[in-house]
């Protein structure tokens, strides 16, 4: 099979981790008889430096023409980087929001899983972490506060800013369907998270989720307020299977969920539209402080590439091979600095990529 993949190395550690994911994909291609056709595009600060904007129309066209996009990370240090002196619509993050919207990537899947080998890194009490956990946050990605009308104005000498949170029922229905579909492939449970005790958009969210649930009698559905969910994630993470939620709540809860796994350097994500197309990126950021030092953890990007094989190309066997390689390398005790503990072997980004690629069988 020929896989047309657009790569966005991006900023910070992005280029390093994408290089290792490609190393692993190339090995998959060799072992399983596929051809990878890559094209790099610029996004974020890397694009600002060359084109003055965080994402060009040409780059969007290239992404649209591919089967899938593999991304590293974008952005720099918000305190020191000159990119953050630009108006908000020209900063690195605007490129990411633009590609999500242009490609209609409304469904963001963020798995958070406690690896047995990394259980020691889990910051929760042992009596809680002992149960393990394996959840997937299904975050709506192209609506809500991120894309609602916003403005900063001055009224009678007083500065005032507003952002609007809007959802229509179709936007809610399509993400809910994705949530229930994926729950069917997992533990058959959806926890829909909202703030229905305060927000109209949440009350509509809850109503539409209940309508969709009618079509999935085999999936258990529950509703949880977002503040309670934030608490439950640290109190009893094992209760969750699929967490279905709107854009902003999903942004916040997915960082929390990743933290309780103890290793944000391990977490992958997929952003999907209604076709097989997807954008795959690690859940972590660009970590400018460790860029170029060969110490970043490439595993989240490698696992994102595995999600790409699974969701965009239906290559389950190949995706399994990548995920097994990760488990194997961890079992053998190899660790990058972020997940290092006593008795393990510390390796750099490139060596981790080599080890993973060698274990693709």
The residue among 54 and 237 lying less far from ligand IPM, judged by its C-beta, is 54
Cβ atoms 55, 92 nearer than 8 A = no
For 254, how many CA atoms within 13 A lie in the half-sphere containing its CB?
A: 28
Determine whether 255 is an active site residue: yes
The residue among 23 and 178 lying less far from ligand IPM, judged by its C-beta, is 178
Give dist(CA 326, CA 330) in Å, integer. Answer: 6
Least separation in angstroms between CB 185 and ligand IPM: 23
- Measure CA 41 to chain center: 19
- Measure CA 157 to chain center: 41
Q: Which of 167, 251, 280, 334 is catalytic?
A: 251
Determine whether 77 is an active site residue: no
- Residue 93 interacts with which of Mg ion, ligand IPM, none, CB < 5 to 8 Å by class: ligand IPM
Determine whether 195 is an active site residue: yes
Q: Which of 11, 23, 67, 146 is catalytic?
A: 146
Least separation in angstroms between CB 250 and Mg ion: 9
- How many residues bind Mg ion, per CB under 5 A? 1
Determine whether 146 is an active site residue: yes
Residue from 140, 246, 251, 338 touching Mg ion (CB under 5 A): that is 251
Residue from 26, 93, 256, 354 touching ligand IPM (CB under 6 A): that is 93
Per-residue CA distances from 74 to 45, 262, 269, 341 (Å): 7, 22, 15, 28
CB atoms within 10 A of CB 180: 23
The residue among 246 and 251 lying less far from ligand IPM, judged by its C-beta, is 251
Planar angle of CA 254, 61, 54, nearest 5 degrees? 55
The residue among 15 and 250 lying less far from ligand IPM, judged by its C-beta, is 250
Give dist(CA 18, CA 281) in Å, integer. Answer: 9
Q: Which residue is nearest to ligand IPM (CB)?
A: 93
Least separation in angstroms between CB 293 and ligand IPM: 22
Query: Would you list the DSSP string of 226-249?
Result: HHHHHHHHHH-GGG-SEEEE-HHH
Cβ atoms 179, 216 nearer than 8 A = no
CB atoms within 10 A of CB 231: 13
- How many residues bind ligand IPM, per CB under 6 A? 3
The residue among 54 and 262 lying less far from ligand IPM, judged by its C-beta, is 54
Give dist(CA 216, CA 205) in Å, integer. Answer: 17
Binding mask 227-266 for ligand IPM (x = CB under 6 A): ------------------------x---------------
Q: Does 20 bind Mg ion (CB under 5 A)?
A: no
Residue 126: helix, strand or coil by DSSP? helix
Determine whether 251 is an active site residue: yes
Q: Given the structure tokens 């969007």, which residue do they identify?
A: 60
Residues that bind ligand IPM (CB under 6 A): 93, 96, 251
Residues that bind Mg ion (CB under 5 A): 251
Catalogue the active-site residues: 146, 195, 227, 251, 255
């Amino acid at each position: 099979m020929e896989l047309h993949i657009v790569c966005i190395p991006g900023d910070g550690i992005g280029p390093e981790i994408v290089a290792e994911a490609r190393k692993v994909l190339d090995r998959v291609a060799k072992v399983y008889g596929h051809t990878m056709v890559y094209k790099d595009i610029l996004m974020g600060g890397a694009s600002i430096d060359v084109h003055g904007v965080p994402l060009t129309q040409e780059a969007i066209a290239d992404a649209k023409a591919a089967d899938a996009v593999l991304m590293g990370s974008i952005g720099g240090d918000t305190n020191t980087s000159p990119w953050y002196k630009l108006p908000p619509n020209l900063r690195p993050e605007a490129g990411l929001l633009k590609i999500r919207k242009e490609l209609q990537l409304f469904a963001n899947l963020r798995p958070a899983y406690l690896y047995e080998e990394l259980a020691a890194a889990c910051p929760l009490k042992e009596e809680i972490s002992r149960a393990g956990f394996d959840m997937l946050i299904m975050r709506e990605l192209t609506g809500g506060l991120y894309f609602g009308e916003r403005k900063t104005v001055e009224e009678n000498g007083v500065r005032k800013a507003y952002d609007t949170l809007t959802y229509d029922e179709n936007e809610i229905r399509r993400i809910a369907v994705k949530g229930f579909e994926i729950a069917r492939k997992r533990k058959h449970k959806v926890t829909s998270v909202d703030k229905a005790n305060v927000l109209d958009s949440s009350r509509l969210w809850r109503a539409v989720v209940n309508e969709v649930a009618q079509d999935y009698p085999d999936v258990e559905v529950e509703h949880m307020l977002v503040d309670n969910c934030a608490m439950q994630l640290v109190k009893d993470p094992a209760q969750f299977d699929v967490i279905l939620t709107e854009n902003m709540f999903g942004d916040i809860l997915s960082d929390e969920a990743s933290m309780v796994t103890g290793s944000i350097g391990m977490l992958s994500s997929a952003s999907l539209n209604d076709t097989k197309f997807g954008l795959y990126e690690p859940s972590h950021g660009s970590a400018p402080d460790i860029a170029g030092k060969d110490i970043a953890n490439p595993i989240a990007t490698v696992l994102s590439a595995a999600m790409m094989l699974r969701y965009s190309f239906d290559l389950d066997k190949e995706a399994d091979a990548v995920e097994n390689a990760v488990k194997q390398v961890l079992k053998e005790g190899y660790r990058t600095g972020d997940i290092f503990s006593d008795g393990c072997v510390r390796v750099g980004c490139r060596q981790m990529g080599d080890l993973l690629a060698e274990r693709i069988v």
